[in-house]
Structure 1
Amino acid sequence: MRLRYGDYPMFMEIGQVIAGYQFQTTGGAGFGIANYTSAATGVVPPAVGGTAAVGATFIDRPTIIYAPLTGTDFVRKLMEPMPPSAVLFLLQAGYNATVVMPLTVESINGIANESRRPGMSRPADPRFLRLTQLLYELQQANALQIRINRKKDGENTLIGFPPAGGSPANVASQIAEVRSILHLSRPAGDYSVRYGGYSGKSDEIALVTRSMLQVMLELGILTQVPEADVSSGRAMPGATMAHASEGTTPPLINVLSGPSAPSDSYVAVPYKGRWFWIAETDIRSKLIFGSVMLLFSISDVGVRSAPPVVTVPAN
């Protein structure tokens, strides 16, 4: 939301947690004596009454101290493209390729993904959309094999497919179509995955990945903001659906907005006098949001810092 309004994004980490609690007990008792006259005998007997009450209250008021993430190391990592292995980790973990690839990849072997960022808007190459669908179908057939070899001089990421002779006919045809789209002329074995533009090599897959800042820009431009904020210049114009007729995928995320806090939301935040949220029933947006949070972790965005200190008072 800050990027949509032209503000610099701020990130916070928990520096310290101070636990504070109170346990209070109360008690009380009272009694009284009352006199009255009996109508029958005229005797005035005393009347004695009493009350008693006890109570307890437990109050837990933790104090959380946040520290902003700043410095050149953090900014560099925020703007640095994520490694191809981070994208493939998500695919290997079972995340849908039709979600992961449009979110994290700018191009693969020169085939461009859609972009909705201001000044960089472009439709997706139809081959990119077809490729993501094929990779998803291969995921379902357990025919997308990813290996990441870690060496002293870095890591080597590989993508492989099962031999054509040992795969069902439909899987073999899908693998053949993937090779055709990516111009992989070598029919068998593993294909090395590298960051960068298309090299023209028949045994290499070149990925141009997005940075986390680019990912946030792509998502921020899809959020709903008041039209008055756009017309007055407070917020950037949103993404248009001009390419919808060309077969593009649905928007990556759907962030709603309103003047008051939502009653049923997956995540919500107040900003600029309004509330912005993802609906609890919007499973696609929830998956995208979860993927971004996971990417922040596995892409090593941030700075190495000491873990938070938890202080518990002793009475």
Structure 2
Amino acid sequence: MRLISPVNSLKRTKRHIIIIFAYLTLAACSSLGTDRVLPDRFDYNQAIGQSSNQQMLLNLVRLRYRDVPVFLSVSSVLSQYVYLGSANLGGSTGSVNGGVGVTYIDRPTISYSPLSGEEFAQQLLTPIPSASIFSLAQSGWPAGQLMMMSFERLNHLSNTAFGPVLSQEQIKKMKKFELAIKLIVALGKHNAFDSYHGEGKDENRYLVFDKNPTPETRQLIDRFKKVLQLDPDISIFRITDRQINRKPNEVTIKLRSLLTLMGFLSHGVEVPAEHKQEKFVEHTEVVEIDNNDFFIPLHIRSSAKEPDNAFVAIEYQDYWFYIEHSDHSSKQAFGLLTYLYMLQAPQAPGGVPILTIPAG
């Protein structure tokens, strides 16, 4: 009978534990990748989406305080897993006890690219393409809110950008603009007009009215033409952004730029009384307007404490600014602004400085 010394037995057991540890580590490596794809993808998706909302809200608040908006895009997310293994062996002569452990830590590396430069500035200052507005309208976005937010002018009627003080004359003009928008919505429900591009080399866009409308629709068309001072005998109008020397067969439709739209919506920011007293923002006169949500569709609340159950919230100048989860009109307007930003803003150009942060 061969005798095995306790020392040799201990060494053999130790080797077995090391082999088991290596096997478990390799097994973990082989299965971890597929197991983590689903949760990681959703986690990062939610985090990036929430971060994008917070960035947009922060820039709206900045504009209300006459601060400069700053945009960063997430260029890449590289998820890395660091494995931490442990094996212990203890005991006395003739007895052995040990343990094996395998854990991992997720250490993602996130790269941010600043959006800046001439191209990005032009995208912010250039009027939103009418094609984007028509596409959103066709996708089912509420036409009234869409046009009130994006339209700057319809012929001689201007959609007033809110200044420090609203005069009664400005409110009167706004109501005329509101009437024109509501007539467009009503005409759309009656399928009384259409918009199309010219053929061949004709790159113009045209607005055409139904030539054989019902009596009810005819009244709407006549009223719309009267409000916009259009020729009642013309059914096809070329869309232009020209404000002066407009021809009888033309209709002026001028859209806001993304920055102008953001500046307009920033007037929906509720400024804390303390900031008003310290004159952090210019004085604005509060004027009661019928159907106020139609004119200012976005309301951003403020609070000294972090709000509960906010749709999106950020901290700025020691106060919290947020959109309430129950404020569906504001959430819809905020969503529209986000869509227009995604359509308008260019991708980060190659070669720009990239900020890469290990987030583990």
1:251 aligns with 2:296: yes
Aligned partner of 2:345 in structure 1 is: 301
The match for 1:5 among 34, 59, 65 is 65
AA of the residue aligned to 1:136: V
Matched residues in 1 for 2:199 and 2:259: separation? Answer: 27
SS in structure 1 of the partner of residue 294 of structure 2: coil
Aligned partner of 2:137 in structure 1 is: 91
Q: What are the superposed Cα offsets for residues 119-172 of structure 1, whole Å, 9 maximum, x if unpaired? A: 78732343211111122223333444222458668x42222233334x4x4333
Query: Which shows bigger deviation, 20-29 or 192-201?
Result: 20-29
Aligned partner of 1:156 in structure 2 is: 204
Change (3 A) 1:73 1:65: same
SS in structure 1 of the partner of residue 204 of structure 2: strand
Q: What are the superposed Cα offsets for residues 197-218 of structure 1, whole Å, 9 maximum, x if unpaired? A: 1544332110232221111111
Matched residues in 2 for 1:157 and 1:267: separation? Answer: 38
Change (3 A) 1:199 1:290: farther
Aligned partner of 2:195 in structure 1 is: 146
1:277 aligns with 2:322: yes
Aligned partner of 2:32 in structure 1 is: none
Matched residues in 2 for 1:216 and 1:82: separation? Answer: 12
AA of the residue aligned to 1:175: I
Change (3 A) 1:245 1:138: closer
8 Å contact from structure 1 (residues 195, 208) kept in 2: yes
Matched residues in 2 for 1:293 and 1:248: separation? Answer: 19
Aligned partner of 1:207 in structure 2 is: 253
Matched residues in 1 for 2:292 and 2:65: separation? Answer: 29
8 Å contact from structure 2 (residues 145, 294) kept in 1: no
Q: What are the superposed Cα offsets for residues 259-315 of structure 1, whole Å, 9 maximum, x if unpaired? A: 2333222222222222211112211111111111222233x3346625999x9xxxx
Deviation (angstroms), 1:16: 3.2
AA of the residue aligned to 2:336: S
Q: What are the superposed Cα offsets for residues 214-255 of structure 1, whole Å, 9 maximum, x if unpaired? A: 1111111220121221221222334x4425159883522111
Matches within 5 A, 1:113-124: 113-118=159-164, 122-123=170-171, 124=173
AA of the residue aligned to 1:193: I
How does the TM-score come out when normalised to structure 2? 0.68
SS in structure 2 of the partner of residue 127 of structure 1: helix
Matched residues in 2 for 1:143 and 1:247: separation? Answer: 28
Query: Which shows bigger deviation, 187-196 or 19-28?
Result: 19-28
How does the TM-score come out when normalised to structure 1? 0.77
Aligned partner of 1:40 in structure 2 is: none
Deviation (angstroms), 1:110: 0.7
Aligned partner of 2:12 in structure 1 is: none
User: How many residues get paired?
Assistant: 290
SS in structure 1 of the partner of residue 254 of structure 2: strand
AA of the residue aligned to 2:212: A
The match for 2:77 among 6, 10, 17 is 17
Aligned partner of 2:337 in structure 1 is: 292
Matched residues in 1 for 2:347 and 2:265: separation? Answer: 24
Matched residues in 2 for 1:138 and 1:31: separation? Answer: 88
Change (3 A) 1:67 1:150: farther
Unpaired segments ≥5 residues, structure 1: 33-47
8 Å contact from structure 1 (residues 30, 52) kept in 2: yes
Change (3 A) 1:73 1:247: closer
Change (3 A) 1:125 1:260: closer
Matched residues in 2 for 1:163 and 1:51: separation? Answer: 93
Matched residues in 2 for 1:288 and 1:7: separation? Answer: 22
SS in structure 1 of the partner of residue 248 of structure 2: coil
AA of the residue aligned to 2:230: L
Unpaired segments ≥5 residues, structure 2: 1-60
Deviation (angstroms), 1:194: 1.2
Which is richer in helix?
2
1:195 aligns with 2:244: no
